[in-house]
Homo-oligomer: A and B are copies of this chain.
Amino acid sequence: MIDWARLPSLSSLRAFCAFVQTGSVVEAGVALNVSHAAISQQLRSLEAHLGAPLFDRSSRALELTADGRELARALDDGFGRIATGVEALANADAQRPLNVGCTPTFASAWLMPRLAGFQVEHPGIDMIVTPSPILTDPSPGGIDVAIRFGNGGWAGLECERLLASPIVVVGAPSLFKGNTPSEPRDLVTYPWLEELGTTESSTWLAAHGLANEKVLSRTHVPGNLMLDGARNGQGVAVSTRIAVAEDLAVGRLIAVFEDRLDAGYNLVTRPGVQRAPLKAFLRWIRREAAKT
């Protein structure tokens, strides 16, 4: 264990190290971006603290004493190791891929089509998109940012609205055969599709006073298949307007109900420091969202 109290001020050690490396008080000042006077005083205070002369001041140019050279070696080693460690961290940090968590639906409908643009802008940053229907929290070394649907309120996380998007219930035109449901209750006569691990359909039904109704059928499918199924007319699905925007536009799906709630997709991050790649991604995705 290091006895910090016995160490001289780190500034003075740094000044000494810089002086040794540059060979002059003036240049050491340049290296540390301070005036030569600052260096001069630090060197003096270092000598005073150690109680040993480090320089032979008999000529104009300072020369190291034997003691001084010994200390110089130690400092060069020590600070060198520290600098290396810090650099390594900065690099490792920049290179670890950026991990984005979101729902499979959002990933395929909104994120993936745009992601190429980000990678063109930031060729150095590798990415992992982790689609998962369940809420996975950002964690150090894991997910950097999650894109979640909802209206915030996740404890211990920072949340920022990315895109407002109403919840919609969709189905293929072939499913309704021109007989579009007009009441939520009408939907219980249709088969339902639901993402594995979620209960969005129940939640939606409950929100519309149909908590105890039994629907025709419920099919749980892996996330990315839910909308595929809906497009094929296999049932109705609860989704978000954003996720099905394209399908609605080309008429592949019909939105039979749309909730005007203050909900949407959010950027969810850990509070505190954000590493550089994450910051770049957040800047980019905010801009993309604003384009919509």
Residues of A within 8 A of B (CB): 1-8, 10-11, 13-14, 17-18, 21, 31-33, 44, 47-48, 50-53, 55-58, 65-67, 70-71, 73-75, 77-90, 92-93, 139-141, 156, 270-276, 279
Q: Which residues of B contact A140 (CB under 8 A)?
A: 53, 55-56, 65-67
Q: Which 5 A-B pairs have the closest CB atoms?
A: A74-B85, A78-B82, A78-B81, A10-B10, A47-B273
Q: Are B78 and A79 in contact (CB under 8 A)?
A: yes
> Do the beta carbons of A82 and B7 come within 8 Å of each other?
yes
Interface residues of A, dominant DSSP: helix
- State how many angstroms separate the Cβ of A31 from the closest Cβ of chain B: 6
Q: Given the interface contacts A2-B21, A70-B92, A81-B78, does A86 sit within 8 Å of B7 by beta carbon?
A: yes
Partner of A51, one of B58, B139, B276: B276
Evaluate contact between A14 and B8: CB separation under 8 angstroms. no
Would A2 and B83 be within 8 Å (CB), given that A67-B93, A140-B53 are in contact? Answer: yes
How many identical chains are in the complex?
2
Q: Which residue of B lies closest to A2 (CB)?
A: B83
Complex CA gap A4/B56 in Å reads 26
**Is B85 a contact partner of A6 (Cβ separation < 8 A)?**
no
Whole-angstrom distance from the CB of A214 to the nearest CB of chain B?
41
Cα(A80)–Cα(B2), bound, Å: 7
Give the shortest distance, in Å, between A46 (CB) and chain B (any CB): 9
The answer to whether A18 touches B4 (Cβ under 8 A) is yes
Known A52-B93, A74-B81, A78-B78; 5 more pairs at CB < 8 Å: A2-B18, A50-B86, A71-B85, A71-B86, A78-B82
